[in-house]
Amino acid sequence: MAIGKKFGTFAGVFTPSILTILGVIMYLRLGWVVGNAGLIGAIMIIILAHVIAVSTGLSVSSVATDKKIGAGGVYYVLSRSMGIPIGGSIGIALYIGTAFSIALYLIGFAESFNGYFGFGATINDIRFTGSIALISITILALISTSVAIKAQFFILAAIVISLISIFIGNSTFQPETVKMFSSEGAVPLEVVFAVFFPAVTGFTAGIAMSGDLKDPKNSIPKGTLYAIGVGLIIYIALTIFLAYTVDSKVLKTDNNILMKIAMFAPAVVAGVWGATLSSALGGILGGPRILQAMSVDKVTPLIFRKGRGVNNEPVNALFLVFLIAEAGILIGELDVIARIVSMFYLTAYGFINISYFLESWANPDFQPSFKIKSWIGLVGFLACFAVMFKLDMLAMLGAFAVIAALYFWLQRKEVKLQSNDVWRSVWENVVNKGLKKIDAEDHEKSNWNPNIILFSGESEHQSYLLQLGKTVSGRTGIVTNFKLILDKENNKPLKKVDQVVRDETFVELGIFARQIKVSNIYDGITNIAMTYGFSGVEPNTIMMGWPKGLEHSTEYSKMTKTLIHLDYNLLYLDFDKKQKFGNYKTVDFWWRETDSKNAEMMLNIARFIIAAPKWNATSIRVLFVNNNNVDNELIHSKIDKLVKNLRVVVEIVIINNAVEQKPFYNIIEDFSGKTDLTIVGIPNFGAEKQAKFVLKTNHLFEKIGSTLLVKAANNFNVLDLNFINKE
């Protein structure tokens, strides 16, 4: 298979970058910048613009030396580090910005060309000349990329000659005093910055050629940073020269001042035309390659992935660039196009910088050969968006809205790459640091943040247990469902990858799901309770269905004893298969003197229940059985105080039972027969009383609807519910 010609650092990166940097803004607007901002103001604008350019150049160079860089330049870097949704959305923005920058350069060319030959200077004349130039360079790009690259060397020579001619020329516009800062009547500095900024965006022209480079990992850092550095030196030198050579009033009004002060004006004309045309040519070469790379990744329509020849020249993508650039030329205003281009590039550069920062901060596999400090990326990111905010807040919000729309569209398309993106590393790093922080703190008597191990078997009613598990875990709680597969031999456990369950039901509820083989169900539950979890987020609650028919099981009794010894909160749901959870309208909490810890846990559960969408219109009652003829007002005020402390709105019901001394469960039957969900505490009892308790509870469940039994661990506070002798 034939391999097309590849380019080195000078031809492939430095030359297209420096030609774009030393382009239309330098020749036609730098004098205007100095005239409006003053010498110090102009230098500050140049330095601020280069802070963004240098940080972005350093960031993209570092990332480029870590990953294999393919075609697509900046898009390729972003999509492989931050994922397709962000890489694609910024890539589209950068592509459009590149296409509009072509219009910027060609409008500048048209201004100079028409002015030099005395052609019309109306907006339609500028549009006509710019369109002819666009057609010409598009044809050149279609003929051969190699020819276009070689043409850049002659243009570079013309620019060098023009700069020499400017610096050794004579000026008849000497200023009486050099203006250091902007004077009255000058254009606001933010507008001046917006017009100047495209001058420093040229370094992406070389990066966009990444697919055509012999050694992109070596060429991109060197070529990019050399181009930025040379550009900075020339802009500072030319700014100082203009401030001391030409009066500020002339600089503000005459866009062709460089031509007039040069020793040999045609050399400057050649430099202007060469710089503007070569910058446009750089966009014509680089822009289509961004779109082609996105189409290869199925971000944009596949029609744009098709190329021609051994170098796979992106012909279809080139025609779309042509159309967007032509739309920009039809706008016809260089300053307007410059502000549009600035916003697109600032957005893209901001994300390039944050991409590097996240890679260097979070990705343990990030090992670039070109190393820089991670804070450089953060500084570049903040500088980009601070400048965008200052330039035009509405335009910034509009740019964010467009990129956000593209991001969510690409997420919905679910375009995926084989490589991992940086977000996984970011989350892993955040989780790691968070776990260390949590683990270092004392959790004793802290607010309950549920971390539930849920055991649910597959059945038509499983979803209700899962649903209630998620409800009582609250917004930030964790629920992990375990499916236990009984395999009495259990010689071969499931592989780790097969233990993870990603069923749609669990995903929708936000529940983690696992499945494991066990030789004994009760031993399996015990082993999971003893080993599952890790430092910082240890499970604190076990939830399962109520064990009907196991009242005489010694294995079940042993398991329960172990779970209590491990100090888990225990939640057992007896689900009414007929009534289910009714209309999700009523919840009863039953308290008695022995429910000292269970009561606080129930109040926490109440807070989570009323926050759940299905239960948000429910009525909650706290029912207390007064067995000792204590004053009802005393009991009510005490419970009301406890309830208010936990910010739960409930109805308090006091049931006098001192005379009748009815069994607790009989009272529950009387009051909660039609309640959608009844919550009852499990009292402390010895193992010898477990069978009796289970039998009595089974009988209760036959009389009422769905019921959740609660036993709190020792981390809950003791609520004083013993009102004897407290009148």
Buried b (16+ CB within 10 A) or exposed e, 638-661: bbeebbeeeebebebebbebeeee
- What's the confidence (pLDDT) of residue 533? 75
Task: List pLDDT tens digits, range 546-576.
Answer: 877 676 678 888 888 888 888 888 998 888 8
- What's the confidence (pLDDT) of residue 242? 92
% of the chain surpassing 90 pLDDT: 8
The full DSSP string for 194-238 is HHHGGGGGGGHHHHTTGGGBS-HHHHHHHHHHHHHHHHHHHHHHH
The structure tokens listed for 268 are 């400057």
- What's the confidence (pLDDT) of residue 69? 66
Cα 509 to Cα 496: distance, rounded to the nearest angstrom: 23
Q: Which uninterrupted H or E stretch holds 425?
A: helix 422-440
248 in Cβ contact with 182 (< 8 Å): no
In the chain, residues under CATH classification 3.40.50 are 451-711
- What's the confidence (pLDDT) of residue 428? 65
For 171, phi and psi rounded to 5 degrees? -115, 135
Cα 267 to Cα 36: distance, rounded to the nearest angstrom: 26
Q: Which fold has domain 9-297+305-339?
A: Amino acid/polyamine transporter I (1.20.1740)
CA max distance for the chain? 116
Question: pTM for the complete prediction?
Answer: 0.64
Which range among 287-296, 490-499, 641-650 has the greatest average pLDDT? 287-296
- Rounded to 10 degrees, the C-alpha dihedral 332/347/282/234 comes to 90
% of the chain surpassing 70 pLDDT: 87
Cα→Cα distances 107→199, 272, 327, 339, Å: 15, 12, 12, 14
The structure tokens listed for 441 are 């703190």
Over the chain, what is the mean pLDDT? 81
Task: List pLDDT tens digits, range 200-230.
Answer: 877 776 666 666 778 877 888 888 889 999 9
Mean pLDDT of 703-727: 75
Cα 226 to Cα 233: distance, rounded to the nearest angstrom: 11
Question: Tell me, what DSSP letter sits at residue 252?
Answer: H
Mean pLDDT of 128-134: 92
Q: Is the pLDDT of residue 726 over 60?
A: no
pLDDT band for 646, please (50, 70, 90 cuts). low
Residue 177 neighbours by CB under 8 Å, 6+ apart: none
pLDDT band for 3, please (50, 70, 90 cuts). very low
How far is C-alpha 352 from the chain's CA centre?
A: 13
**Beta-carbon count within 10 A of 530 CB:** 11
Which range among 123-132, 203-212, 358-367, 432-441 has the greatest average pLDDT? 123-132
SS3 call for 532 = coil
Task: List pLDDT tens digits, range 156-207.
Answer: 888 899 999 999 987 778 887 888 887 777 888 888 888 888 888 777 766 6
Cα 23 to Cα 351: distance, rounded to the nearest angstrom: 25
Mean pLDDT of 564-593: 87
CATH code: domain 451-711 is: 3.40.50
Q: Is the pLDDT of residue 263 over 60?
A: yes
Task: List pLDDT tens digits, range 520-543.
Answer: 888 888 898 888 877 667 888 899
Residue 51 neighbours by CB under 8 Å, 6+ apart: 379, 380, 383
Cα 528 to Cα 515: distance, rounded to the nearest angstrom: 11
pLDDT band for 71, please (50, 70, 90 cuts). low
Residues making up the chain, counted from first to last: 727
In the chain, residues under CATH classification 1.20.1740.10 are 9-297+305-339
Dihedral over Cα of 404, 406, 408, 411: its sign: negative
- What's the confidence (pLDDT) of residue 551? 65
- What's the confidence (pLDDT) of residue 46? 93
pLDDT band for 2, please (50, 70, 90 cuts). very low
Q: Is the pLDDT of residue 703 over 50?
A: yes
Dihedral over Cα of 518, 522, 525, 528: its sign: negative
Q: Is the pLDDT of residue 327 over 80?
A: yes
Q: Which uninterrupted H or E stretch holds 681?
A: strand 677-681
Q: Is the pLDDT of residue 727 over 50?
A: no
Cα 105 to Cα 338: distance, rounded to the nearest angstrom: 9
Q: Is the pLDDT of residue 707 over 80?
A: yes
Cα 436 to Cα 413: distance, rounded to the nearest angstrom: 36
In the chain the first and final C-alpha atoms are separated, in Å, by 97
What letter represents residue 201's amino acid? T
pLDDT band for 722, please (50, 70, 90 cuts). low
